[in-house]
């Protein structure tokens, strides 16, 4: 190890920064963030630096660096474009025994800045010992993704209650279990759901010893349209906490595989007219599993609240007072449009967009078609493949032009994605020959023609 990572307390400590350019501004931001008493020595300030100086209190000596400027400093940074100035700063700092960092000159540094993930009071510092700052930054972005912004709140919660937990008189093992609940368990989930008071209460009950097994919890997770990269960080985090995963037909198996290896996976998929597990049974199952103390992930395709019956699934949980979280997902309408190069709204073509179910009942669709006639509104039909003929016929019969562009996007965001284009009068014949399979989404409106120019994904 060439550099030992340590955490330095800089609050109100004198630090000297020589230089006031763009790079110096970046360093100054860190130093001020740590509460340093900052003195800047530079004949001129960059505009970024000036903005920083107006927000924070720092002392600026508007002149070049001179020998003796470092006499009071406990830490020094040189960030000037002039190598000879940087060398002089290095020489003085070294002779005074002050740690010094010279930007972009590893040979002149007695300390270096790590890449930082800041979830204060939790901080993560990543260093490649100067060997590859790009690698350090890439590792940082991976860690950033793993730590939700609210991790800071968990750290603060722990800080606030540390003494109380120490005084509770529990054994070391019991204390470890309490901390586990705060950091990874139900209390952490309450904090991450922005329910600080409930977290306080849960801790109080835990410390009073009133509580037995922590109750289970249900995460209703939108898994997005198929491409696993379109999951949110939150969806992934909660999926990986789950003891059991209930998933639908629309959820990509690669996403289910992202759950913990030891988690049970239960397929409760639904096909049109083949409900392998009836909806009521799914609702009950969620309650039963949570009552057994399990963390249950209910994975839904797209967004759980867009034609996903997510509302019904959590109604029973709410009635039974079982904690749950709902994670939005990218809905098929958004995803298919983006991957097909069809902006759902566009200043010149559409000012609004409407998501409509195309699911037929007894071969019929009961819509107020007269509401769907605006030329400047994009219509997005879910579950519309079977009812496509009715949709087109009704729209034309109610007055929409037969030339209105229509797109069918089959298996959007997957490598098998196909885009079929036509008009309200021609699309049916196209479907006859191309035979698209579910899931397929239908988009109706002028914006569809933009795909000519804006298509970018796949070949279809
Ligand atoms: N909750 C889901 C929608 C479920 S309804 C969501 O928000 O996306 C199921 C319908 O969604 C399908 O019939 C189809 O119209 C559409 N759909 C879902 N995934 C799709 C995909 N990858 N490509 C095209 N359409 C899709």
What are the distances in angstroms from CA 390 to CA 193, 312, 373? Answer: 43, 28, 15
Unique residue bearing structure tokens 């008189």: 169
Q: Is the peptide bond before 406 cis (omega within 30 degrees of 0)?
A: no
What is the helix, strand, coil percentage profile of the chain, to 5?
40, 20, 40
Decide: 225 in ligand 1 pocket, CB within 6 A.
Answer: yes
Quote the CA–CA distance of 313 and 157 in Å, as a whole number.
31
Angle CA 62–65–69, to nearest 5: 100
**14: number of CA atoms within 13 Å, CB side?**
8
- Residue 175 tokens, joined: 């204390």
Tokens 């579950």 found at: 383
CATH code of the domain occupying 14-113? 3.40.50.720
Two structure tokens written together for 460: 């279809």
For residue 300, which atom of ligand 1 is closest to its CA? 1
For ligand 1, atom 2, name the residue with the nearest CA: 302
Asked if 349 and 454 touch (Cβ cutoff 8 Å), the reply is: no
The architecture that CATH gives domain 333-454 is: 2-Layer Sandwich (3.30)
* Length of the chain (residues): 460
pLDDT of residue 53: 85
336 CB less than 6 Å from ligand 1?
Answer: yes
Q: Residue 224 gets which letter from DSSP?
A: B
The whole-number pLDDT of residue 363 equals 86
What is the predicted pLDDT for the residue at 131? 87
Report the CATH architecture of 217-330.
Answer: 3-Layer(aba) Sandwich (3.40)
pLDDT the model gives residue 216 = 86
Q: Is 231 annotated as a binding residue?
A: no
CA of 225 to the centre of ligand 1 (A): 7
- Counting from 1 in the atom list of ligand 1, the atom nearest the Cα of 303 is 7
The C-alpha angle 159, 13, 72, rounded to 5 degrees, equals 165
User: Which residue(s) pair with 220 in the sheet?
Assistant: 298, 326
Which two tokens mark 159?
């800080």
Torsion on CA atoms 335, 340, 345, 347, rounded to nearest 10:
140
Residue with tokens 């040979």: 107
**CB neighbours of 432 closer than 8 A, spacing ≥ 6?**
none
CA of 250 to the centre of ligand 1 (A): 7
Residue 283 makes CB contacts below 8 A (sequence gap 6+) with 312, 313, 315, 316
Q: Is 32 in the pocket of ligand 1 (CB under 6 A)?
A: no
Flag residues of the chain having pLDDT under 70: 170, 210-215, 270-275, 459-460
Between the CA of 368 and the centroid of ligand 1 the distance, in Å, is 22
Q: How far is the CA of 229 from the centre of ligand 1 (A)?
A: 17
pTM of the predicted model as reported, rounded to 2 decimal places: 0.78
Q: What six digits make up the tokens of 323?
A: 């904690």
C-alpha 251 to ligand 1 mean position (Å): 10
Instruction: Determine the Cα–Cα distance for residues 335 and 303; give it in Å rounded to an integer.
Output: 11
Residue 319 tokens read as 């009635």
Would the CB of 251 count as within 6 Å of ligand 1?
A: no
Six-digit token string for 428: 């049916």
Nearest CA-CA partner of 412 in 224, 222, 255, 272? 224
Task: Look at residue 270 in the predicted model and tell me its pLDDT.
Answer: 63
183 and 221 in contact (C-beta within 8 Å)? Answer: no
- 301, 417, 458, 460: residue to mutate for ligand 1 pocket, most atoms within 8 A of CB: 301
Residue pointed to by tokens 């830490």:
75
Tokens 């069918």, located at residue: 408
Radius of gyration of the chain (CA): 30
Strands (E), 272-364: 274-275, 295-300, 324-327, 352-357
Ligand 1 contact, 306 CB (< 6 A): yes
Domain locations in the chain?
Answer: 14-113, 151-208, 217-330, 333-454
By most ligand atoms within 8 Å of CB, the mutation choice from 271, 333, 441 for ligand 1 is: 441
| Closest protein CA for atom 6 of ligand 1 | 302
Residue from 224, 250, 414, 437 whose mutation best tests the ligand 1 pocket (most atoms within 8 A of CB): 250
């Amino acid at each position: 190890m060439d550099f030992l990572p340590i955490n330095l307390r800089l609050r109100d400590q004198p630090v000297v920064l020589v230089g006031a350019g763009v790079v110096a501004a970046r360093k100054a931001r860190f130093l001020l963030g740590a509460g340093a008493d900052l003195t800047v020595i530079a004949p001129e300030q960059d505009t970024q630096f000036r903005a920083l100086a107006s927000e924070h209190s720092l002392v600026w000596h508007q002149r070049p660096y001179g020998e003796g400027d470092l006499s009071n400093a406990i830490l020094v940074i040189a960030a000037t474009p002039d190598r000879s100035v940087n060398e002089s700063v290095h020489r003085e700092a070294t002779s005074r025994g002050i740690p010094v960092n010279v930007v972009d000159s590893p040979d002149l540094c007695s300390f270096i800045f790590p890449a930082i993930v800041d979830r204060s009071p939790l901080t993560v510092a990543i260093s490649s010992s100067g060997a590859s700052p790009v690698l350090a930054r890439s590792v940082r972005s991976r860690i950033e993704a793993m730590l939700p912004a609210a991790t800071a709140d968990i750290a603060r919660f722990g800080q606030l209650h540390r003494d109380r937990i120490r005084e509770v008189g529990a054994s070391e093992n019991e204390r470890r279990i309490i901390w586990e609940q705060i950091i990874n368990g139900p209390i952490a989930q309450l904090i991450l759901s922005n329910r600080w008071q409930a977290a306080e209460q849960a801790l109080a009950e835990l410390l009073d010893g009133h509580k037995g097994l922590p109750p289970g919890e249900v995460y209703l997770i939108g898994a997005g349209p198929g491409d696993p990269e379109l999951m949110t960080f939150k969806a992934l985090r909660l999926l990986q906490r789950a003891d059991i995963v209930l998933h639908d037909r629309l959820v990509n198996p690669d996403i289910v595989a992202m759950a913990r290896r030891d988690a049970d996976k239960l397929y409760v998929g639904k096909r049109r007219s083949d409900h392998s597990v009836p909806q009521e049974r799914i609702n009950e199952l969620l309650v039963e599993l949570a009552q057994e103390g399990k963390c249950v992930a209910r994975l839904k395709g797209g967004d759980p609240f867009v034609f996903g019956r997510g509302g019904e699934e959590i109604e029973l949980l709410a009635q039974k007072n079982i904690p749950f979280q709902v994670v939005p997902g990218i809905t098929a309408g958004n995803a298919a449009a983006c991957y097909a190069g069809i902006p759902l709204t566009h200043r010149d073509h559409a000012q609004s967009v409407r998501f409509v179910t195309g699911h037929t009942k007894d071969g019929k669709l009961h819509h107020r078609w007269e509401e769907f006639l605006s030329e400047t509104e994009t219509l997005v039909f879910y579950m519309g493949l079977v009812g496509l003929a009715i949709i087109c016929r009704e729209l034309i019969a109610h007055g929409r032009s037969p030339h209105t562009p229509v797109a069918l996007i089959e298996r959007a965001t997957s490598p098998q994605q196909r885009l079929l284009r036509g008009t309200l009068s021609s699309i049916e014949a196209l479907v006859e020959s191309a035979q698209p399979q579910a899931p397929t989404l239908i988009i109706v409106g002028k914006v569809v023609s933009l795909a000519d120019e804006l298509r970018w994904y796949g070949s279809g």
